[in-house]
Amino acid sequence: MAKLYFSYAAMNAGKSTLLLQASHNYNERGMNTLLYTAALDNRAGIANIASRIGLKARAELFNEGDNLFEKIKEKLQQQSLSCVFVDEAQFLRPEQVWQLARVVDRLEIPVMCYGLRTDFQGKLFPGSSELLAIADILREIRTICHCGAKATMVVRLGDDGAVLVEGEQVAIGGNEKYVSLCRKHWEEETGNWPANRADSPTLNFEENQKRSGN
């Protein structure tokens, strides 16, 4: 039976690499795949999914208004499809996640989505929220913080390297950079911990460790 998969991670965990490798495994066996990635700016057409280690493949763009069930059903009239892959799945609208679920349930094609779990403010993306709710299989792709612990959170850095705590969930065309951190270091970098840092400027990371008995 076909299934809806959601592989989620923080930034720079190699999501696109895994997607491209999985798609390649199908192609190698002579099976067709269909790849999607987010358009973000209402462009239409074709783009590349590229991974940091140099792999890339052609992908169709999805916009927030697209009905992915109808689009995939149309494709199916031209060619067979063994699997649909969606990169940047955090940008799916919740109704598009349901459209992909119908591709699984009604067209019996597996759909593998890859995306970020949370934004730089630690909030779920709408697409990720819906996928976490209804996907058949959830997979965590692991990456690590500078301290060696599992990184589950992301901070957004401005041009000057300072951590940004305000702003739109999706920054388009900016020079922002993202860094993955463990939850503990994310709270410190975003100023959420220590809670009274503003009142006691002498309280630093080491003192805080002693206080909490670590």
Site for Zn ion, rule CB under 5 A: 145, 147, 149, 182, 185
* Residue among 10 and 145 whose Cβ is closer to Zn ion: 145
* Residue among 103 and 182 whose Cβ is closer to Zn ion: 182
* Residue among 148 and 213 whose Cβ is closer to Zn ion: 148
Find the shortest distance in angstroms from Cβ 184 to Zn ion.
6
Find the shortest distance in angstroms from Cβ 209 to Zn ion.
12
- Active site annotation includes 88: yes
Q: Which residues contact 130 (CB under 8 A, 6 or more apart)?
A: 92, 94, 97, 98
Find the shortest distance in angstroms from Cβ 190 to Zn ion.
13
Find the shortest distance in angstroms from Cβ 181 to Zn ion.
6
Catalytic residue among 60, 88, 130, 188: 88
What is the spatial distance between Cα 58 and Cα 56, in angstroms, rounded to a whole number?
A: 7
Amino acid at 131: L
Helix H, strand E, coil C: the string for the chain is CCCEEEEEECCCCCHHHHHHHHHHHHHHCCCCEEEEEECCCCCCCEEEEECCCCCEEEEEEECCCCCHHHHHHHHHHHCCCCEEEECCHHHCCHHHHHHHHHHHHHCCCCEEEEEECECCCCCECHHHHHHHHHCCEEEECCCECCCCCECCEEEEECCCCCEECCCCCCCCCCCCEEEEECHHHHHHHCCCCCCCCCCCCCCCHHHHHHHCCC
What is the spatial distance between Cα 196 and Cα 203, in angstroms, rounded to a whole number?
A: 9
Find the shortest distance in angstroms from Cβ 125 to Zn ion.
22
* Residue among 145 and 154 whose Cβ is closer to Zn ion: 145
* Residue among 57 and 145 whose Cβ is closer to Zn ion: 145
Active site residues: 88
